[in-house]
Amino acid sequence: MLIRRTEAGLRVWAPAKVNLFLEVLRRRTDGYHELTTLMLAVGLYDLLEFSDEPGGNLRLSCDHPALSTGPDNLVLKSAELLRQRCGCHKGVAIHLWKRIPLAAGLAGGSSDAAATLAGLNLLWQLGLSPQELATLGAELGSDVSFFFATPAAWCTGRGEQMAPLTPGRPLDLVLVCPSVGLSTAEVFRNLTVPQAPLNGEAVCQALAAGDVEELGRRLHNRLQPAAERLCPEVAHWHQRLVQLRPAGQLMSGSGSTVYALCHGPAEALRVARELSRVREERDSFRVYIVRSCD
């Protein structure tokens, strides 16, 4: 994430993520699933603005009318958790400019939560380390901790245990986001846990080597069949991307976003242009050309 001081306080840019590999190992006794996943931060950002609130209150506003700004929002949950653990009584006014689509498998809410922890740690001068912030993030959601280990990480447990990785080269992707979202819980309820889970060692090696061709061959998401059954749009756009012949294509997270992994910026532009030609057939989707974060 990117943090900049302003006259009023702070601005924090919170990136989206995609999953290059996601395997489900088993269902845990706590109701979650044991996962192995390779996550990559990409250049599609929400923007959060933080300013002091002299009254000691926590206030959130947002430019997206469908997003709750009440205490159920992860941004306010993050702020309250930080205050409780640090014995802090300061307030803050937060405005969220929402650009990452909702319920799209891009972890926008988790990234916003991580951005809140990082931003308030600086604004309130709490002095917590990135590891301490990541530990707090794990209490808020499975993907929150990842955003303290960007640009890429191999994640285990329910996704909160991280081993940071460095991509061998920048990666160019095209995200296709249908207007319909998917419930993560519903996708997991429809999941078939494999008897012989796939090993992600090869995909990690391809990422580290910067071998886009091999990385494209190794893309995997165990949740995709369940998501396609629940949302035919996922299958439709995945097949569209197959026809455009990028290095690889996959659904991110629990969907509904699918993406093309491209050989370079020129191919990403070509794929995006080809997708724009189907607007008259299906106009309820968004396309983003992104690059992996540094």
* Active-site amino acid positions: 17, 143
Q: Is the peptide bond before 65 cis (omega within 30 degrees of 0)?
A: no
- Which whole-number Å values give the CA distances from 236 to 145, 187, 231, in the listed order? 32, 17, 9
Cis ω before 256 (30° cut-off from 0): yes
Distance CA 83, CA 248 (A): 43
Compute the distance between CA of residue 26 and CA of residue 7 in angstroms, rounded to an integer.
Answer: 49
Amino acid at 268: A
Residues in the chain: 294
Show the tokens assigned to 74: 């992860």
Give the 3-state secondary structure of residue 149.
coil
